[in-house]
Chain A
């Protein structure tokens, strides 16, 4: 069951020049899966739309969720000012999440680009497999210690300040890595390149996509992506990222 409720902020920490890590207490943590997201709502009535943020970590026992986000606009800057004990309206859990069963026991790439890295952490924590985590950054690193504890970490930076100079695919090539399955999250150009790579290697690849959202639950049709086949629900070549996704088999969607 999805819920909309007041979550309590347990901690807020700045982990990069514009990246924040926040732990929230919610009632629905038990039902959350890696790759799902929640909607965050502004306290300012002039901002009516939700801010979707992926689950970075889930502690089902304590009933808490970790979000790692970048401040890019008014909403995320408002969230960054919240401190322990403050509350925030959230809705969740939303979306489908990564299909862990498709990767269990296999050789896997968990690929994250920029602010697409956070959801790969909980995915790595729950996945029982040979995990190669490939994290691509512009310059500044974050979440690397947590990633290392949950798989073999390979880093790429655009400015060459750490790991491979370039993107996640450059890191794969430089380290001559291979996999049977890919889970990826990041900017669209990166996902497009990963999809092409997976096609060439003929391996299944699941990607987590992004689009502007209004309802977050599949009712308004704002957040669609194009599907290869006619979709069962929409009866056109569109799938709802908030409900049918955000994770899709790369071969089923157009990028």
Chain B
């Protein structure tokens, strides 16, 4: 039985990875799960310099999910390379570094710095709805997505995954732009922009006013988008958005995802990633699926 999948020439032992920003760089969750049992660890977004992030409260619970406006707090690429990459390398898993920036130059500075590092892939966050800068437009404007993708591809030594925002009218248009720009894969979905008002305090539940919605409540939107993108482009897709169980993961794979990321579910089940990887194997055994790749995009 084969659970291995291949994304841009990088082989993952299974299709289960972590969703950026929910798992740090793996250290905290390594008390609960063996990182070597994961296909890949996707790290928290990292920028060229340290970012302080947003004021608190940064999160609020919503029905079947949450909204977050962490604001991409990160220690900057230098600390990340010295501390987080060596930690992850002790484990037998793939390292995917999530990259954020306010401007083209900032993304490129991180991508160039990563060229000399021992990482497997990078995931470019062009969709974070939290930071009030012009770069919000990147992920929502197909022309800019194509341009940025092309520039990053030129600078990058490792395969490039473009992470798409669901906050657009037609996600296939953006996916096609990433493909045209030369991306090696796409991942989706990032969080859906939402708002919660605290009626007792009569103010916004998160200090940033708006935040990104995630968790089980967003899953049907995410499955739909993965399916649409799978019909529109040839690149491998990493699916995410509300995945909490192996059943959810299979659903994304059938819709067209080659691999899946688990985010918010880690917060209420720190064992979720490994349980999902094991559940996928059990499903394959039970249904006599010899190769996981038979399931990818099998529902059309």
Contact = CB atoms under 8 A, between A and B. Distances in A.
Contacts of B44: 221
B267 A221 contact: no
Nearest to B57: A212
A3 to B, nearest CB: 8
Interface string A186-226: 00000000000000000000000001111111111111110
Nearest to A230: B50
Interface stretch (A44-52, A131-139, A150-158): A44-52
- Chain A binding site: helix, strand, loop or mixed by DSSP? loop
Interface stretch (A101-109, A117-125, A231-239): A231-239
B23 interface: yes
A4 B270 contact: yes
B271 A4 contact: yes
Interface in A9-61: 41, 45-50
Interface stretch (B69-77, B145-153, B178-186, B286-294): B69-77
A213 B61 CA distance: 10
A243 interface: yes
B52 A48 contact: no
A2 interface: yes
B32 interface: yes
A212 B56 contact: yes
Contacts of B266: 215, 219
Contacts of B31: 1-2, 217
B53 A49 contact: no
A224 B73 contact: yes
Nearest to B214: A48
B297 interface: no
Interface in B5-54: 21-24, 28-29, 31-32, 44, 50-53
Contacts of A223: 56, 58
Interface of A: 1-2, 4, 41, 45-50, 91, 211-225, 233-238, 243
B68 A235 contact: no
Given A4-B270, A217-B31, A220-B24, A237 B52 contact: yes
A225 to B, nearest CB: 8
5 contacts: A48-B64, A48-B215, A50-B267, A50-B268, A212-B60
Q: Which 3 A-B pairs have the closest CB atoms?
A: A235-B75, A219-B24, A219-B28
Contacts of A41: 268
Given A219-B23, A236-B75, 6 more contacts: A2-B32, A48-B66, A49-B59, A49-B61, A222-B56, A233-B75
Contacts of B75: 233-236
A45 B64 contact: yes
B264 A48 contact: yes
B216 interface: yes
B72 to A, nearest CB: 9
B279 interface: no
B73 A238 contact: yes
Contact of A48 (B29, B32, B268): B268
B79 A235 contact: yes
A4 to B, nearest CB: 6
A187 to B, nearest CB: 14
Contacts of B24: 218-220
Nearest to B79: A235
B76 A222 contact: no
Contacts of B73: 221, 224, 234, 236, 238
B28 A221 contact: no
Contacts of A46: 63-64
